Copies of this chain bind each other. A is one copy, B any other.
């Protein structure tokens, strides 16, 4: 029987989940749950749209609910609340607050005997797995994580809040020289500035002072001040045409040594045309695992570290062993 998936929230991530479920042979999407007026929302694949408040009546129709809200205000509330009713998966990515989030979700999920995966996606998520496997295999070594080339939505938003800016896209770009050193096993110590550069494409409002905008971007604390930042002013047309997508990616490298200084480099990299669709695909694989774990009696808050990889595959264990081992 197909795994029945509910999609809670219908922005870029929720839309990606809808497509990923459609692409999964063993799953079916029950519907989208939104805080907007349901009749105002049209789904890509024609699945029904419900008011978010309807979800609790549908416990018997949903095997796992994928939470597609944001980490700042949505998920800290929604994940513990929904874990009382459903197996859930979220993409909570505020690293510093994960332990606190985990504790609240764990209490809710245990009380309800549900499985709740938090912080699923690619970072946190697949990159975390790469860091774990790398460090377990090469205990003497260093971890390096580079992000990009890709669009950072947080940084793009920060530019858009500057007076005189009509629109903006910001790319995070790994510094090739630093990457090359790490790949060569040199184990360098790298500052923030040495690891990434930032490139901004900005649409200025008519008559705005571009020199001031550029200065405000480059000196913005936390976001840009610690980086070598390039600012390009472009027209709205050019921004839409050349910078319309949300590509992203990055690299996790474990560089370590064994024996008499035999060096080993493990590299895990992602090149993604669509950050949201890829993240959604990861969520859907862990949704499968949540349902399987729960059927076996597991409950509580789980991370990507806590599930045997075979639970993620639509194939059964014998087939996985025969074909992939």
Q: Give me the interface of A with B, judged by CB distance under 8 Å.
A: 16, 19-20, 23-25, 95, 98-99, 102, 119, 124, 126, 128-133, 135-140, 183, 185, 258-259, 262-274, 277-278, 280-282, 285, 288, 303-310, 312-315, 317-318, 320-322, 324-325
Contact = CB atoms under 8 A, between A and B. Distances in A.
Nearest to A267: B269
Given A19-B259, A262-B274, A308 B310 contact: no
B132 A320 contact: yes
A40 to B, nearest CB: 22
Given A119-B325, A132-B324, A271-B265, A258 B23 contact: yes
Contacts of A277: 258-259, 262, 264
12 contacts: A23-B258, A25-B139, A135-B324, A136-B313, A137-B282, A139-B314, A183-B271, A262-B274, A263-B273, A267-B270, A268-B269, A305-B308
A281 B305 contact: no
Given A303-B321, A305-B308, A264 B271 contact: yes
Nearest to A15: B259
Given A99-B322, A137-B126, A309 B132 contact: yes
A306 B314 contact: no
Contact of A132 (B271, B312, B318): B312
Contacts of A273: 262-264
A319 to B, nearest CB: 11
Contacts of A269: 266-269
A183 B307 CA distance: 29
A273 B256 CA distance: 11
Kindly report how many copies of this chain are found in the complex they form together. Answer: 2
Nearest to A93: B325
A83 B95 CA distance: 41
Max count, chain B CB within 10 A of own CB: residue among A305, A307, A313, A318: A305
A314 B136 contact: yes
Contacts of A124: 325
B306 A310 contact: yes
Given A24-B139, A128-B325, 16 more contacts: A98-B325, A99-B318, A126-B137, A131-B324, A132-B309, A132-B313, A258-B281, A262-B273, A262-B278, A264-B271, A264-B273, A264-B277, A265-B271, A266-B270, A303-B321, A305-B308
- Max chain B Cβ within 10 angstroms of own Cβ: one of A23, A136, A274, A308: A136
A258 B19 contact: yes
A16 B259 contact: yes
A68 B298 CA distance: 35
A312 to B, nearest CB: 4
Nearest to A119: B325
A282 B266 CA distance: 12
A285 B136 contact: yes
